[in-house]
Amino acid sequence: MINNKIRNIAIIAHVDHGKTSLVNELLKQGNVFHENQVVEDRVMDSGDIERERGITILSKNASCNYNGIKINVIDTPGHADFGGEVERVLKMVDGVLLVVDAYEGPMPQTRFVLQKALNLNLKVIVVINKIDKPDARIEEVKDEVLELLLDLDANDEQLDSPFVYCSARQGIASTDPNVKGTNFIPLFETIINHIPAPQGDEHAEQNDFVGKLAIGRIEQGSAKIGDSIVVCNYHEPKNVKGKIVQMFAYDGLKKTQITNASVGDIVCIAGVPEVVIGDTICSPSEVSPIEFVKIERPSVEMTFMVNDSPFAGRDGEFVTSRHLRDRLYKEAVKDLSLEVHDTDSADSFRVCGRGEMHLSILIENMRRDGYEFQVSMPKVLYKEIDGKKCEPIDKVVLDVPEDCVGTIMGKMGTRRAELIQMTPHNSRTKLEFYVPTRGLFGFKSQFLTETRGEGIMSSVFYEYQPYKGEISHREFGSLIAFEKGEAIVYGLYNAQERGELFIGPGTEVYPGMVVGQNPKGNDLVVNVCKRKHLSNCRSAGSDDALRLTPPRVMSLEDCIEFLNDDEYLEVTPKAIRIRKKILDHSLRAKARGKSDEVC
């Protein structure tokens, strides 16, 4: 049976190439909203962090209608750290819209997501987006996409994929790069004509649901409320019985309750508490699991621990190891790119993810939910291949101003990077490198500084290669608080002569807490709580004349990048603090074999 009334597509692309804006316009012109309805920008990015950062983190489902045909649309993340979200949804669709920026062209994540789609033999529609950019390179980018398809061993049919040229922001599309469109009808028509309708045996007794909360596509047969079901898994032995209690379909952005569904429908069911991502839901009379794509393994790890600082327990609602363990393992069930492992200590856990951003989003979500804990510096996961120690290598693309090329080349050289390609574009240059993943830790902020905020950086995991040798993590040291108390203007004024401060007057500190950065490379203990001694000639009021440099405000990502091997990041719902693992100054000096300088 072929269900001609449905098309199932996923939107895939590199970060910031316009996927979510494209979905916005598909929904607007697909009659999801009323004509007079005010629609917020990036309506599919519903999470607080997604809206704050302007990125998609979780895949989202929605649907629109064109000429009586329902188009189920899945918006996917573009950042490499959330590639697992892309991998897990591609089994639910029959084709993809590959969105490519009309200036940037194919980027590292473009290759990654397109490779996954081609491996599943999905139909591809290439959408050259942002054609309204003044520096758009439409024909060049088209050629670059075709070269990428050839490089990925696409078959003849995939090489003949249609191209659509559009501006998601203006809501226009055209199949001719020389003709400006007036609406999205050319894109809708291309979807209907090129993406195949789902097909399967309507009378077969097998349903495939992939995704958290049992969201997925009916691959074979039909389903209705009250049906008895069995949950099984292709890769692991599993046989769990249940019953469909409720069933929902996507209508626009909303879930609407339905009583039955058939081949090709993307639905959500309730009533199977033990279902996890990758399971197949079948009829008891024919238990036959469908193969699910293997998710790429993590390449970076951090240790999550119970907070043991002097300020522990002040802010958090969930502070014990049981709270921490339950939340982390629950997160690993929802996020297949995440792995959680117990350690020898009951108070700490190894958490492995795709990258620094992947783990930082987890940390931010947990602190917003009331958790208090501390984490270690990120480390890469090594492998032994053919008896050799190997490490993860990333492919990095840097788009920098012409006059910054020499500086950036030097910085990448110290990180054991290998230059692959250098391509000039007007006053800018695109640099491509293979670089050890650990070489990128702490590099982003330095990169933005060196390029005066004008540089664009993106990376994606490439492969494991033999260990490249030692890489210096950072060229600076820490300013460390000497005693417990409240930071005072006089103490801060003296400390700022030694480096850049992270705190201002009134901030509570404790011994061993990092309060700033020492550019000279070594750690330095400073007394930010120091008060001026009073005498007949001096008064406390004279502190008002002391001028403080505004402190550097550190985001969560900045703090993670800053961390050294002997430091932890203390995370609470109200504060983020960097601290030394060993708080006591004398014990820390013994452990290092030399004492910290005190001023």
Domains of the chain: 6-194 (3.40.50.300), 206-282 (2.40.30.10), 300-380 (3.30.70.870), 383-466 (3.30.70.240), 477-598 (2.40.50.250)
Q: Residue 177, class by beta-carbon neighbours within 10 Å (0-12 exposed, 13-18 middle, 19+ buried)?
A: middle
Looking only at the bridges linking them, the beta strands covering 172-174 and 240-243 are: unpaired
Q: Give pLDDT tens digits for 444-497.
A: 878 888 888 888 888 888 889 999 988 877 778 999 999 999 999 999 999 999
pLDDT tens-place values along the chain, 599 residues long? 566 788 888 888 877 778 778 888 888 887 665 444 444 444 444 455 544 554 444 555 777 888 888 888 887 765 555 555 666 677 778 899 999 999 888 887 788 788 888 888 889 999 999 998 888 899 999 999 999 999 888 888 888 999 999 998 888 999 998 888 889 999 999 999 999 887 655 444 333 443 345 777 888 888 888 888 888 887 778 888 888 888 888 776 567 888 888 888 888 887 666 677 678 888 888 888 887 766 667 889 999 999 999 999 999 999 999 999 999 998 887 777 789 999 999 999 999 988 888 898 899 999 999 999 999 999 999 999 999 999 999 888 888 888 899 999 998 999 999 999 998 887 888 899 999 999 888 788 788 888 888 888 888 888 899 999 888 777 789 999 999 999 999 999 999 999 999 999 999 999 999 999 998 878 999 999 988 766 555 555 555 568 889 999 998 988 998 999 999 999 999 999 999 999 998 898 888 776 566 65
Q: Residue 286's closest CA among 343, 205, 193, 384? A: 205
pLDDT computed for residue 46 by the predictor: 47
pLDDT computed for residue 443 by the predictor: 83
Contact predicate 351/328, CB 8 Å? yes
Stated pTM of the model: 0.68
How far is the C-alpha of 360 from the C-alpha of 523, rounded, in Å?
Answer: 25
How far is the C-alpha of 445 from the C-alpha of 562, rounded, in Å?
Answer: 10
Which helix (H) or strand (E) segment is 64 a member of? strand 60-66
How far is the C-alpha of 97 from the C-alpha of 76, rounded, in Å?
Answer: 11
Which helix (H) or strand (E) segment is 448 a member of? helix 443-450
- Residue at 367: amino acid letter: R
CA atoms within 13 A on the CB side of 104: 25
Q: Give pLDDT tens digits for 97-144.
A: 999 999 888 887 788 788 888 888 889 999 999 998 888 899 999 999
**Got the DSSP string for 332-366?**
HHH-TT-EEEE-SSTTEEEEEESSHHHHHHHHHHH
Contact predicate 191/197, CB 8 Å? no
Contact predicate 474/522, CB 8 Å? no
Q: Is 438 helix (H, G, I), strand (E, B) or coil?
A: helix
pLDDT computed for residue 539 by the predictor: 53
Q: Residue 273, class by beta-carbon neighbours within 10 Å (0-12 exposed, 13-18 middle, 19+ buried)?
A: exposed
**Got the DSSP string for 219-263?**
-SSEEETT-EEEEEESSS---EEEE--EEEEEETTEEEEESEEET
Q: Residue 200's closest CA among 219, 181, 178? A: 219
Contact predicate 31/252, CB 8 Å? no
Cα-based distances in Å from 279 to 210, 290, 485: 6, 8, 54
Q: Is 422 helix (H, G, I), strand (E, B) or coil?
A: strand
